[in-house]
């Protein structure tokens, strides 16, 4: 066992402050940051019974990580129906999204806080055979206790920045001890592989679960209904937008094409009132989806202020402009962009702003394939989006090139599933009928 004064201090401190956990969680409930009906799950108290048999536990904190695990969960359930899949997340939004998206038979729970008692209660109940941590969630008590109980742990799609790596180097023994808990480490890119190796990880290879996803789901009935209302109008979707981006994109695309229909999908729908006020002040005719406002021939903009329907809106698009990539150019904080593979998998031409740092490798791949174009600011959008709307054949060709590139990049899931199976007991014989 690796000796680490920092790890010893962390475990001692979390034990000392553990009695405060219920009070802190109550405060978070009042702030709307925890589900009051399920807050006990954060203390390791399970909301459902554990099914018999082997169990694979997959943990991802936020929406992006949670969605990236869906292909893995689906593969497990398809090929090993005897294996229970437990997914844990840490945010309300991720839980709301997963409630609509998890495959049948997959259990969701909120992750326990990283205190010894909560961790012990969680592990005592669920007894995971395999634990998969997505991206960079390194909770010392949880990892050490799971390893001690014999759970085979894997760090998948690991992404670590220079800043984070430098922080861990201030406690090198703790970093090595945590890396030693993992039977497998699969970073999502070479830069993360190098940083994790410097912290003591034994890297197996590269896997990025976000490259392995299935096309976003959609409601076929709603697609037909909205398609009929939009008719033959050209459609641009501004996807997963952030503060300052909506009005900049709307202004840039205003009057770009005759009867242009712009669908704005804010990343955080709770900002919809603010966006609606800005649209009204600038004189735009718009309809809000959350309020079921009707689309008419006079509707310029559809404010799609709902969760879990991005697949529907992207399928309606002729061109998709990715939000979260323009914020720094507009004086806002860096967001790093959002997943351009989502529209690419649907064969849609993709346009991003200058800040796609969270998706740099994916952006380069799609750009080199000819399926994505980057611009420096919203003011450049007309010079890119306009020609695509004017030439549907060119837009379809661009979208198809991106779709092929996305499909070729999805092989990492096969390698991951093959390795995880080695830690599972043999599948029960189905016998003969």
**DSSP letter string over 395-419?**
HHHHHHHHHHHHHHGGGHHHHHHHH
The interaxial angle of helices 381-390 and 392-408, nearest 10 deg, is 100
Answer yes or no: same fold for 5-212 and 220-409. yes
The region of weakest confidence among 187-191, 286-290, 381-385 is 187-191
Q: Does the pLDDT of residue 99 top 90, yes or no?
A: no
Tell me how long the chain is.
Answer: 433
CATH code for the domain defined by 5-212: 3.40.50.11720
Tell me the range of 171-175, 204-208, 315-319, 416-420 where mean pLDDT is highest: 315-319
The domain covering 220-409 belongs, at the CATH homologous superfamily level, to: Glycogen Phosphorylase B; (3.40.50.2000)
Average pLDDT for 192-198? 94
Could you tell me where the DSSP H helices lie in 254-391?
A: 272-281, 310-316, 341-345, 360-369, 381-390
Nearest to 231 by CA among 258, 265, 256: 258
Q: Does the pLDDT of residue 268 top 90, yes or no?
A: yes
271 pLDDT band (50/70/90 cuts)? very high
Q: In this predicted model, which residue has the larger pLDDT, 147 or 63?
A: 147
Q: What is the C-alpha to C-alpha distance for residues 56 and 184, in angstroms, rounded to an integer?
A: 14
User: Over the chain, what is the mean pLDDT?
Assistant: 93
In the prediction, which pLDDT does 433 show?
Answer: 43
Check: CB of residue 306 under 8 Å from CB of residue 290. Answer: yes
In the prediction, which pLDDT does 148 show?
Answer: 97
Q: Does the pLDDT of residue 430 top 80, yes or no?
A: no
Q: What is the pLDDT of residues 372-406, one digit of tens each?
A: 999 999 999 999 999 999 999 999 999 999 999 99
47 pLDDT band (50/70/90 cuts)? confident
Q: Enumerate the domain spans of the chain.
A: 5-212, 220-409
413 pLDDT band (50/70/90 cuts)? confident
Q: Does the pLDDT of residue 1 top 70, yes or no?
A: no
Average pLDDT for 102-117? 95
In the prediction, which pLDDT does 417 show?
Answer: 93
Average pLDDT for 238-261? 95
Which residues does the annotation mark as catalytic? 65
| pTM exceeding the 0.95 threshold for the entire prediction | no
Nearest to 250 by CA among 266, 273, 227: 266
270 CB burial (10 A radius; 0-12, 13-18, 19+):
exposed
In the prediction, which pLDDT does 431 show?
Answer: 53
Q: Report percent pLDDT > 70 for the chain.
A: 99
Average pLDDT for 286-297? 97
Q: Does the pLDDT of residue 74 top 50, yes or no?
A: yes
Name the phi and psi angles at 131, rounded to 5. Answer: -125, 130
């Amino acid at each position: 066992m690796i000796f680490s004064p920092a790890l010893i201090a962390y475990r001692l401190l979390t034990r000392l402050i553990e009695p405060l956990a219920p009070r802190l969680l109550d405060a978070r409930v009042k702030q709307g940051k925890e589900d009051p009906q399920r807050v006990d799950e954060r203390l390791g108290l399970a909301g459902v019974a554990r099914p018999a048999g082997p169990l694979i536990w997959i943990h991802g904190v936020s929406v992006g990580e949670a969605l990236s695990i869906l292909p893995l969960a689906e593969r497990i359930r398809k090929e090993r129906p005897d294996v229970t899949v437990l997914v844990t997340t840490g945010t309300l939004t991720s839980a709301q999204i997963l409630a609509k998206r998890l495959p049948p038979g997959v259990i969701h729970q909120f992750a326990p806080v990283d205190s010894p008692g909560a961790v012990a209660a969680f592990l005592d109940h669920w007894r995971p055979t395999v634990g998969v941590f997505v991206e960079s969630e390194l909770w010392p008590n949880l990892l050490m206790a799971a390893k001690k109980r014999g759970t085979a742990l894997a760090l998948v799609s690991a992404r670590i920045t220079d800043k984070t790596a430098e922080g861990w180097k201030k406690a090198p023994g703790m970093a090595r001890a945590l890396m030693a808990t993992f039977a497998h480490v699969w970073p999502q890119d070479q830069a993360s592989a190098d940083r994790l190796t410097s912290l003591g990880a034994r890297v197996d290879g590269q896997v990025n679960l976000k490259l392995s996803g299935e096309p976003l789901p959609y409601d076929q009935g709603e697609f037909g209904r909205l398609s009929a209302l939009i008719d033959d109008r050209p459609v641009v979707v501004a996807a997963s937008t952030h503060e300052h981006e909506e009005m900049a994109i709307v202004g840039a695309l205003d009057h770009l094409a005759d009867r242009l229909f712009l669908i704005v999908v804010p990343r955080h729908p709770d900002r919809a009132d603010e966006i609606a006020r800005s649209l009204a002040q600038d004189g735009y005719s718009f309809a809000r989806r959350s309020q079921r406002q009707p689309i008419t021939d006079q509707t310029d903009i559809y404010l799609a202020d709902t969760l879990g329907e991005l697949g529907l809106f992207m399928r309606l698009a002729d061109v998709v402009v990715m939000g979260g990539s323009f914020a720094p150019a507009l004086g806002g904080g860096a967001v790093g962009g959002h997943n351009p593979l989502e529209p690419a998998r649907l064969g849609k031409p993709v346009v991003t702003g200058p800040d796609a740092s969270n998706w740099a490798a994916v952006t380069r791949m799609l750009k080199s394939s000819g399926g994505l174009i980057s611009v420096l600011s919203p003011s450049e959008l007309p010079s890119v989006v306009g020609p695509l709307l004017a030439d549907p054949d060119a837009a379809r060709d661009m979208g198809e090139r991106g779709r092929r590139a996305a499909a070729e990049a999805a092989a990492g899931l096969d390698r991951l599933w093959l390795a995880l199976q080695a830690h599972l007991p043999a599948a029960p014989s189905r016998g003969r009928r």
